[in-house]
Amino acid sequence: MQQFQFPGQTGFYSGKVRDVYTINDQLLVMVASNRISAFDVILPKPIPHKGQILNQLAAYMMHACSDICPHWLLETPAPNVSLGKKCEPVKVEMVVRGHLTGHAWRLYQSGKREICEVPMPDGLKENDAFPKPIITPTTKADAGHDEDISLRDILKLRLVDAFHWQTIQKYSFALFKRGGEIAAKQGLILADTKYEFGLLDDKIVLMDEIHTPDSSRYYYADGFEDRQQKGEKQLQLSKEFVREWLMANNFMGKEGQQVPQMSDQWIHSISRRYIELYEKITGQQFVPQPLSEAETFELISTALNKY
């Protein structure tokens, strides 16, 4: 994807999966690419339709949660583009966990019984629900790996002050509850997710994407308890299957490790899984809307003229 140049452009940043343009230091244009990352590494081949899926799902969820807290999004001028207000990012990501899975399970399996100084009870199996959801924050790294961090260290390092922490904690739990309710209506369980916040006129604002397969893990609710009792693997919709494939091929993003070859069949499988999640969680059919870069530029420019 080429880099655009918009009137009034004052900044550009190419992230793991999105290209972000700053306009007049007040607006952000986020172009969701088809790039895919895992273990904080961009994998070598793009996934068809992924940018459109993530962008449309994030917008769907943002609107569904707009009564809970203010958010950055103004509109989606193109299928894979979001336009919104520029905020000062809070340097902490809020990871909310309703179930013991992923990184938390790997720690638990190694014998640890706390994460970010938050206790995890004994006697849990992989994918079991916590007695109540927990927040396990991470640092928001500009490059490389995000790291677990405790509330004590967040306050000590002044990444967030105590007043704003109370606000983002309250918002995070409320958003997770809403996300779980939306998922339940579609026969899914929201297992865990992450939220990013910013400051706009000293008010906390929800940023970035929410409740997408890149930021969340979903289980199929049908048969969940039965599978847990039998110790069977849970059926899930998330990016975890990509991480599992990488780990099975001896890659976890560590120095010296090589990304395994991605066959065309595997890439198609990943794309199909993303489409499945979009359709499952929204109840809407996914309609691919491929646009040329010229068409995308024109739609963004027209939208920017309004602001």
**pLDDT on residue 81:** 97
- Asked whether residue 189 is assigned to any structural domain, the reply reads yes
Of the candidates 1, 26, 7, 2, which has an alpha carbon nearest to the alpha carbon of residue 300?
Answer: 7
- Asked whether residue 1 is assigned to any structural domain, the reply reads no
**pLDDT on residue 1:** 60
Q: Which among 207, 238, 269 is the end of a domain? A: 238
Q: What is the CATH number of the domain that holds 221?
A: 3.30.470.20
Residue spans of alpha helices (H) in the chain: 50-64, 102-109, 151-156, 162-185, 224-230, 240-248, 264-282, 293-305
What does the pLDDT look like over 251-298, one tens digit per residue?
988 888 989 999 999 999 999 988 988 999 899 999 999 999 999 999
Query: What is the three-class DSSP state of 232?
Result: coil
In terms of domains, do 96 and 33 share one? Answer: no
**pLDDT on residue 243:** 86
Indicate the number of domains in the chain.
Answer: 2
**pLDDT on residue 50:** 94
Burial class (CB in 10 A: 0-12, 13-18, 19+), 108: buried
Predicted confidence (pLDDT) at residue 224 exceeds the cutoff of 60: yes
- Asked whether residue 172 is assigned to any structural domain, the reply reads yes
Distance CA 57, CA 268 (A): 19
In terms of domains, do 48 and 114 share one? Answer: no
- For range 175-183, the mean pLDDT: 97
In terms of domains, do 185 and 123 share one? Answer: yes
Residues 6+ apart with CB under 8 A from 86: 22, 25, 26, 27, 28, 72
Q: With contact defined as beta carbons under 8 Å apart, do 136 and 130 qualify?
A: no
Predicted confidence (pLDDT) at residue 143 exceeds the cutoff of 60: no
In terms of domains, do 158 and 255 share one? Answer: no
- Asked whether residue 21 is assigned to any structural domain, the reply reads yes
- Asked whether residue 4 is assigned to any structural domain, the reply reads no
Residues 6+ apart with CB under 8 A from 301: 6, 7
In terms of domains, do 188 and 113 share one? Answer: yes
- Asked whether residue 65 is assigned to any structural domain, the reply reads yes
In terms of domains, do 45 and 58 share one? Answer: yes
Query: What is the three-class DSSP state of 92?
Result: strand
In terms of domains, do 80 and 92 share one? Answer: no
In terms of domains, do 209 and 76 share one? Answer: no
Structural domain including 249 reads: 9-86+240-305
- Asked whether residue 196 is assigned to any structural domain, the reply reads yes
Share of the chain above pLDDT 70, in %: 98
Single pTM value for the model? 0.89
How many residues are given for the chain?
307
What does the pLDDT look like over 40-86, one tens digit per residue?
888 989 999 999 999 999 999 999 999 999 999 999 999 999 999 99
In terms of domains, do 165 and 129 share one? Answer: yes
In terms of domains, do 288 and 189 share one? Answer: no
Q: Which among 196, 215, 238 is the end of a domain? A: 238
**pLDDT on residue 2:** 67
What does the pLDDT look like over 208-223, one tens digit per residue?
899 988 889 999 999 9
Average pLDDT over the chain reads 93
Q: Which two tokens stand for residue 90?
A: 């809070």
What does the pLDDT look like over 155-167, one tens digit per residue?
999 999 999 999 9
In terms of domains, do 124 and 260 share one? Answer: no
**pLDDT on residue 144:** 56
**pLDDT on residue 141:** 66
Q: Which among 209, 238, 267 is the end of a domain? A: 238
Kindly report the CA angle at 247 between 241 and 249, in degrees rounded to 5?
A: 105
Kindly report the CA angle at 13 between 160 and 41, in degrees rounded to 5?
A: 85
Beta bridge partners of 184: none
- For range 21-32, the mean pLDDT: 96
